Structure 1
């Protein structure tokens, strides 16, 4: 399902959270934004799949079994803006978003 979140500039902002669940999300814009998956909490956490958006190519984030503890998809933008993405819960076989952004 396509979602739009208003993201303020600065630190990493969580757009989706997963607890003992899996999911896949597709991001395309805004250009210059960064996306990643953060597993765990505090000092026991680690980052995965860190990517930069270029506004043209679709970037994919997947949350796997590591979310048994806690996982979240995060975005960092240079300017406060809306971020639009396509997210699917569970293990999906989709490799590209169903709808165009």
Structure 2
């Protein structure tokens, strides 16, 4: 997911096959043009699960999405005018299965 001008969009689905660090990502993608994006954590899709990139407006679902959270921060907070602050997606978040199913339906696939 990503946020543009306060509107939530679904970019793709990733079935995570590997969580790694910068060195692991660089080893996995040695020929990445421009190098691998600098980050402390990288995820790599399970082989054969890749989907193309989409840019679907899913803003109407923003208030319904639920994330796993130990601190009770399990949903996106909408601003007074109904927008999403992009900073809420800067941390690694895991969707509840019901939310993943909702998004898979938007893509026309099974979760």
Structure-2-length-normalised TM-score: 0.25
Normalized per residue, the structure richer in helix is 2
Structure scoring higher RCO (CA < 8 A, sep ≥ 6) equals: 1
Normalized per residue, the structure richer in strand is 1
Greater Rg by CA: 2
Structure-1-length-normalised TM-score: 0.26
